[in-house]
Amino acid sequence: MDFSIDRTLPISLRQQLKGLIEYAIACGDAAPGEPLPSVRDLASLLGVAPMTVSQAYADLKGLGLIETRAGSGTFVAESGAEPLRAQEDFVALHGQIDALIDRGLALGLRTSDVASLIHARLASRALHGRRKSIAVVGLFQPTTARYARLIAEQVGPMATVEPATLDLIQRDSAARSRIASSDLVVTFVNRRREVASLLPGARVTGIRFVPADETRSALAALAPGARLLLVARVPEFLPIMKAGVTRFAASPALLNSAAGTIADVASLAAAADVLVYASGTEDALAAAPQTLPTIEYRHIPDPVDVRRRIAAPLDLDG
């Protein structure tokens, strides 16, 4: 039997060793009655702690796959191989696993990426059962969490919806693997390609986000000719805000724009009647006079896109 472990895989050494021996027994590479190395010898061979080998052996004993004979050592159990090999679907499953690995490698994934995806998927199944899993990737954590809640309300209890930020999946490999293992990853239309490049092999879709009803109502209630200061953390979002404000507000007299820095807001706020800020820019409000009225320019996931691009592909409409 070939004993080898890969320390780059996101799977514990104990689980790797257990899987190696279990797989060898199931596939006939380790025959009933075949002796296994002692705990100390195998630990020395692999360069791991004896406790790791001892725990893996204990797991296999618990499954009835190996047995200890007093004074003789540890052996593949005489009855351990037969039940596994007796399952007619096992050979087919073996082929499906190989096909899955081949598919992942063909997509340009590393073996460690494939292992991470499988591990994360198993963890998700253990936590949520067979419900579909959806991940929502945005820019700011509170706003993305709100998007996730709104999508969860619309798709119903047959799916779980997890929020994640671009920053999180860029710096946290565990979070990146977990998000990539989702049945569907949802993000802004203009961020779809960026998110897909960070999550190779994931199913990524882009949806539109539309101004919330409360934002439209607040802008429509402004007095005609009101001077508005627009504030957004992401500069490229300012033209979108300006177009929306112009559409919903009654002939605003002045539209100033700020990139969301405290200095920008402080220098422009004195000339404004109302400050309109994009979600995620709340901290910049500290630079504005406390008496200056504010409106959050809030977006929500487009309900039409949620049905068409999320619920329908995952068969959640029923």
pLDDT at position 129 over 70 = no
Quote the mean pLDDT of the chain. Answer: 85
Cα–Cα distance for residue pair 173/101, rounded to 1 Å: 20
The answer on 196 and 144 residing in a single domain is: yes
* CATH number of the domain encompassing residue 237: 3.40.50
Chain-centre distance of CA 217, in angstroms? 34
The answer on 223 and 199 residing in a single domain is: no
Helix/strand/coil (H/E/C) assignment for every residue in the chain: CCCCCCCCCCCCHHHHHHHHHHHHHHCCCCCCCCEECCHHHHHHHHCCCHHHHHHHHHHHHHCCCEEEECCCEEEECCCCHHHHHCCCCHHHHHHHHHHHHHHHHHCCCCHHHHHHHHHHHHHHHHHHCCCEEEEEEECCHHHHHHHHHHHHHHHCCCEEEEEEEHHHHHHCHHHHHHHHCCCEEEEEHHHHHHHHHHCCCCCEEEECEEECHHHHHHHHCCCCCCEEEEECCCHHHHHHHHHHHHHHCCCCCEEEEECCCHHHHHHHHCCCCEEEEECCCHHHHHHCCCCCCEEEECEEECHHHHHHHHHCCCCCCC
In the beta sheet, which residues pair with residue 205? 186
Q: What pLDDT, on the 0 to 100 scale, is given for residue 10?
A: 61
Query: With pLDDT > 90 as the criterion, what percentage of the chain qualifies?
Result: 36
Q: What pLDDT, on the 0 to 100 scale, is given for residue 80?
A: 45
Q: Confirm whether 307 is domain-assigned.
A: no
Domain count for the chain? 3
Contacts of 186 (CB under 8 A, 6+ apart): 134, 135, 136, 137, 151, 204, 205, 206, 207, 301, 309, 310
Q: Confirm whether 176 is domain-assigned.
A: yes
Q: What pLDDT, on the 0 to 100 scale, is given for residue 117?
A: 80
Q: Confirm whether 25 is domain-assigned.
A: yes
Q: Confirm whether 238 is domain-assigned.
A: yes
Q: Confirm whether 3 is domain-assigned.
A: no
Stretch 225-241: mean pLDDT, rounded?
Answer: 82
* CATH number of the domain encompassing residue 56: 1.10.10.10
* pLDDT tens-digit series, residues 54-101: 999 999 888 788 898 888 899 988 754 444 454 556 667 777 888 888
Half-sphere exposure in the Cβ direction for 5 (13 Å, CA): 21
Q: Confirm whether 100 is domain-assigned.
A: yes
Q: What pLDDT, on the 0 to 100 scale, is given for residue 91?
A: 66
Q: What pLDDT, on the 0 to 100 scale, is given for residue 79?
A: 58
Between 151 and 282, name the one with better pLDDT.
151
Q: Confirm whether 310 is domain-assigned.
A: no
Q: What pLDDT, on the 0 to 100 scale, is given for residue 81?
A: 45
The answer on 129 and 29 residing in a single domain is: no
The answer on 203 and 139 residing in a single domain is: yes
Taking Cα atoms as reference points, which of 172, 177, 295 lies closest to residue 232?
295
Q: What pLDDT, on the 0 to 100 scale, is given for residue 255?
A: 67
Cα–Cα distance for residue pair 33/134, rounded to 1 Å: 47
Amino acid (one-letter) located at 280: G
Between 283 and 292, name the one with better pLDDT.
292
The answer on 106 and 202 residing in a single domain is: yes
* pLDDT tens-digit series, residues 7-52: 766 678 888 888 888 777 765 567 788 899 999 999 999 999 999 9
pLDDT at position 260 over 80 = no
